[in-house]
Amino acid sequence: MTSRKTSCRVYSDFNCPFCYAMHERLYALGFLEQISWHGVQHAPHLPQPMATWAGHLHAELKQEVKMVRRLAPELPISVPAGKPNTRLAITVAARALHEDTRRAGEFIRSLYRLFWVDGLDLSNERLLRLEAERQGFVGTALFGSTAPAVESMLGEWRDRWEETEHQGVPLLQRADGQVLVGMVPPETLTQFLAGS
């Protein structure tokens, strides 16, 4: 995740286990430097703070995690209590990218892990502030009235994602417009990125 021209974009949401797995796979394969992360909310209706899921919703969440464990057995992942609204987390990640792309990459990776490994609520501003500081960001750089305005950038990311006409995450898009949707094997990912 760097400020130089990237060859591919990934549209991703922190509360999607397949996005977490894709991010970790891109990291393990050494591809994150050529990827531009674009956070999008694929489920903006989710509550803040995160609600505990029960019944069929919890069963679906367990099934998603089971699928990720099958597709990426090397990946640490747990079943969280529910899924958080990710608007604030995506906004803060975008501000981090604006501030320092190198540190932002580690910050974004840590946010996925806070949710999918530790089960913490990414809609919690205090949690996000603490993690931002742990990653070396000054709180005022990412939060409050002095933080950079990123709303137009977030809108552009959402619009570009919607223009792909797939609405799924994770979604990789090469510079030539070709897309790859969902969690795929490392070989498929490598072939797709080699075509960019």
Mean pLDDT of the chain: 94
Percent of the residues in the chain that have a pLDDT greater than 70, as a whole number = 96
Query: Are the C-beta atoms of residues 85 and 46 closer than 8 Å to each other?
Result: yes
Round to whole Å and give the CA distance between 178 and 53: 36
Q: Over the stretch 64-106, which tens digit does the pLDDT of each residue have?
A: 999 999 999 999 999 999 999 999 999 999 999 999 999 999 9
**Is 91 part of any domain?**
yes
* Predicted structure pTM score: 0.95
pLDDT at 2: 41
Q: Over the stretch 16-47, which tens digit does the pLDDT of each residue have?
A: 999 999 999 999 999 999 999 999 999 999 99
Nearest residue to 132 (alpha-carbon basis) of 155, 116, 149, 114? 114
Report the SS3 class of residue 65.
helix
The range of the structural domain enclosing residue 89 comes to 8-194
pLDDT at 81: 97
Angle between helices 151-163 and 87-99 (to 10 degrees): 110
Averaged over 171-186, what is the pLDDT? 96
pLDDT at 5: 52
Q: Which two tokens stand for residue 152?
A: 């137009």
What CATH number is given to the structural domain containing 178? 3.40.30.10
**Is 1 part of any domain?**
no
**Is 86 part of any domain?**
yes
Round to whole Å and give the CA distance between 7 and 174: 6
pLDDT at 75: 97
- How many domains does the chain contain in total? 1
**Is 102 part of any domain?**
yes
Report the SS3 class of residue 39.
strand
Cβ neighbour number for residue 59 with a 10 Å cutoff = 11
Query: Is it the case that residue 187 has pLDDT exceeding 90?
Result: yes
Lowest mean pLDDT among 3-7, 50-54, 77-81, 151-155: 3-7
**Is 125 part of any domain?**
yes
Q: Over the stretch 103-140, which tens digit does the pLDDT of each residue have?
A: 999 999 999 999 999 999 999 999 999 999 999 999 78
**Is 39 part of any domain?**
yes
